Structure 1
């Protein structure tokens, strides 16, 4: 009965979330459904298990959600993201329209700009570029997804994406965990995605298909506005990434784009400060005080990675503000919109975490845990399977990853210690695994991206699968094989 309750609760969560119901309401209800079948106390499951675990997630990761959303809004309203995209499109030209969009998305998201900010800025520029180059509109969602939702989210060493931060407290790692494997995985994702999109572009040209191919929906100039204001898009998007699309248009942009050097400097600051904090500053600090009860009885290994990203994003925010003083029409409105944009996403993901905590506390979950851990191929394979399945079911890489590590993290740390495996390797496998099957049709980022691009699932989803899912799966396999053979590097 316990397993039946888990399946019913999960099915209820997936079905109603797909129909646009709020995850804030669904998650506790689904968790309580699972608890009922295991005859667990309902009120205690809600207040002591669901709420405490959800609150722990907020306490641990809200600084990253907050700073990431504020930084992304500042980069949008200063038009720094637009300046970077414009620079790349002019340098590469219309002959490399797909590459320009992919690289622009990769640069800004690796520099800490939120996915949805990147989407709402890049798509209008990409539309103009694709139209001029005669590249089918239906390929644009896949090009944007490849640049913003693959290697810069899960593989590139040091990426400030929340998905890369989540394993750090569990494994005692840094944002630069397994850097060599991360670079290899990034090359696999980027190379495969570009190969596929080039193949599709050439096939379209041979068939005489232009920007508005056969069966394309009518062009709308307000696609971005409509997507940002769509309640269904908002509900799905807020569980997928760390920015509430509803805040996109709640502040004003600068009239002119800054010079490319000023636009790119904050991104450089994120990368450099993150690197310095991880390898030079924090290791030299005396942090023995963290073991005291008043500081949570923790250690630098548990919090150092989060501190590095927090300081890097804070430094980048100050850099954007200083470089654009007087240019952003309403700095207070921009900061407020950015801060507000972080609230619904973190509460949505925290609710998923609370649901996972109820399920993990049920006696029947021991059967699920044993099945996952005993999957053939070793701990890396079973960890990849666990994060893949949970990210796919929840439609959220961060939610699925946190649920998996909350339930199975200690088990994998024990297994790693027994066989001498570097936790950095598990970190990288877990993050890449969470960033594969999360891009299913119901994923909020996919729904938002297609809506903003003016492309239907039928027209554009296959290319998203190939560029964002298949490429990531190939990279995951490569990392598991290399990690098993030679370890972490």
Structure 2
């Protein structure tokens, strides 16, 4: 009983102290040590060096290329002007009479193509503010609108997305970025539709309120905003580099890298890698693994590398600060991956405690004979506790992934369905008020939780949760497709 109380107290401290702004790099190992000492199991140094650091290092070794390449890709999309061109093109095409749809789609196109949420929020907000003001739509709906396009269906549901939330389950289940494509598309459509219905309903209900008295002119990230954003798991290096005025790229040049990310990912996943001779992976020097364990990661790496080369080649004259952009993008990948990896190490230490076996058995037993239900609940709850979609997912999979895979095999469930349920489940309770992306988005838009969080929670938490129910129902009835 003592062990369970200690685990619950530790998780409660993680939520509270993370919300108070304490770095996860300090918080995760400190609380893991506290849990070991308070549970009277006493293996403090061994738990830190052999369990915490071992799990942290394993996560970094596996996913660092994805974090690194994704951050550099998003940085170059921003600094080349491609991100702004895409946002402007979509918004101009749809016009102010479809302001909400225009902002959602502009965010969705960029995040599905691999641009980071942070870059998208900074690129889209000034345009969204002008558009909402012109259409006289309340400003407090902007965070919810950006969140729907950037934090939901393109992050977790659409097959092929290079988002880390779609990459993390691959080694655990031996799947690819395109796991359960039919179910993923249906779930994405449900998310998009429900979110749009909510935003349009709120826009009509709040019509008399209008945009409101807000000073959004000449939006630039001030020092306070930059520091606050950096403290919430992002890096100041992701902010734009001042480039020489060469002119923005044409729309086709701007969209080409995004299209290539998905297309190359698809080609490597289903055409190139399956035809490669990969028997050598069974050798000790390569970790005695199998191609199913690395195929997804290889595909994402290849897609991002080749798309980056095309992005640089087609924007060579525009990227006058290329070295600085690449350096800053690389540096920007460090804080997010170390934050997430620290949470993985924290979860590994918690899982090593004797009381965790009772918690595991209780969680796994939820849902009866349907492991999809307990998997969704476990991932959602951990994502909410850590305030991180990737962090919660990583803890769940590192501690329970093998158990769920065995349960799926017993019940005849395709691992691809486990992958898609896991990914979609991260996009629910992770959007609680202490989530770093939520706090940063509100800081960017210069709104408070009281002003904007209700609608943001509806589009980025309630809607994804409802979509998850649809996904589990369809997957249970028809299997993976």
The normalised TM-score by structure 2 is: 0.97
Whether 1:53 aligns to 2:55 is: yes
Matched, 1:273 2:272: no
| Alpha-carbon distance, 1:217 to partner | 5.8
1:5 equivalent to 2:14? Answer: no
Note if contact 1:69-1:114 (Cα within 8 Å) is conserved in structure 2.
Answer: yes
Q: What are the residue-to-residue correspondences of 1:9-24 with 2, within 5 Å?
A: 9-24=10-25
Q: CA deviation at 1:221?
A: 4.3
C-alpha deviation, 1:416, in angstroms: 0.9
Deviations for 1:138-171, whole angstroms, at most 9, x for unmatched residues? 1100110000000000000100000000000000
1:401 maps to which residue?
A: 393
Give the stretch that moved more between structures: 195-204 or 4-13.
4-13
Q: Partner of 2:211 in structure 1?
A: 211
8 Å contact 2:235–2:335 — kept in the other structure? no
Q: Does 1:87 align with 2:95?
A: no
Contact 1:380 1:426 in 2 (8 A): yes
Match of 1:164 among 163, 166, 180: 166
Partner Cα distance (1:52, 1:220) in 2? 49
| CA-CA distance at 1:250 after TM superposition | 6.0
- Output aligned runs, 1:245-284, within 5 Å: 245-249=235-239, 251-253=241-243, 255=245, 256-284=247-275
Shift of 1:419: 1.2
Partner Cα separation in structure 1 for residue 422 and residue 138 of structure 2: 35
Find the residue that maps to 1:431 and give its secondary structure: helix
CA distance in 1, matches of 2:194, 2:456: 12
Deviations 1:390-435 (A, max 9, x none): 0000000000001000000110111111111100001000110011
Structure 1 residues 263 and 254, CA gap change in structure 2 (3 angstroms): farther
Q: CA deviation at 1:219?
A: 4.2
Residue in 2 aligned with 1:333? 324
1:122-133 pair list within 5 angstroms: 122-133=124-135
Report how far residue 247 of structure 1 moved: 1.3
**Does the CA-based 8 Å contact 1:155-1:186 persist in structure 2?**
yes
Of residues 174, 198, 201, the one that matches 1:199 is 201
| 1:95/1:303 CA distance change after superposition, 3 Å | same
Question: Which 10-residue stretch deviates more, 451-460 or 176-185?
Answer: 451-460
Moved more, 73-82 or 449-458: 449-458
* Structure 1 unaligned blocks of 5 or more: 239-243
C-alpha distance in structure 1 between counterparts of 2:353 and 2:218, whole Å: 50
Encode CA deviations 1:324-353: one digit per residue, 9 max, x unaligned. Answer: 011123000000110000001111111111
Runs of 5+ in structure 2 lacking a partner?
Answer: none
Matching residue of 1:487: 479
TM-score normalised by length of structure 1: 0.95
Counterpart for residue 35 of structure 1: 36
Displacement of 1:194 after TM fit? 0.5
**Does residue 287 of the first structure (1) align with residue 269 of the second (2)?**
no
Task: For 1:309 and 1:129, locate their aligned partners in 2 and report how far apart those are by CA, in whole Å.
Answer: 35
RMSD of Structure 2 on Structure 1 (CA) = 1.3
| Aligned position for 1:241 | none
Instruction: Give 1:306 deviation, angstroms.
Output: 0.5
Instruction: Tell me, yes or no, if the aligned pair for 1:4 and 1:37 is still in contact at 8 Å.
Output: no
Match runs of 1:441-452 below 5 Å: 441-452=433-444
Q: Is the 8 A contact 2:79 2:240 kept in 1?
A: no
Q: Contact 2:6/2:38 (CA < 8 Å) preserved in 1?
A: yes
- What is aligned with 1:363? 354
Which residue does 2:339 correspond to in 1? 348
Note the alpha carbon deviations across 1:37-75, whole angstroms, 9 max, x for none.
332310011111000100000000000000000000000
Which string of whole-angstrom CA distances, capped at 9 and with x for unpartnered residues, describes residues 127-148 of structure 1?
Answer: 1111111111111001100000
User: In 2, are the aligned partners of 1:227 and 1:451 still within 8 Å (CA)?
Assistant: no
Partners in 1 of 2:266 and 2:412 — Cα distance? Answer: 26
Q: Which moved more, 1:285-294 or 1:465-474?
A: 465-474
Cα distance in 1 for partners of 2:277, 2:271 equals 13
Q: What is the SS of the residue equivalent to 2:222?
A: helix
Deviation by residue 1:77-110 (Cα, 9 ceiling, x = unmatched): 0010100111011110110111000000000000
Post-superposition shift, 1:228?
4.5
Structure 2 match to 1:376: 367
Instruction: Tell me, yes or no, if the aligned pair for 1:227 and 1:452 is still in contact at 8 Å.
Output: no
Residue 204 of structure 1: CA displacement? 2.0
Residues 340, 391 of structure 2: 8 Å contact kept = yes
What CA distance in whole angstroms lies between the structure 1 residues aligned with 2:4 and 2:157?
Answer: 34
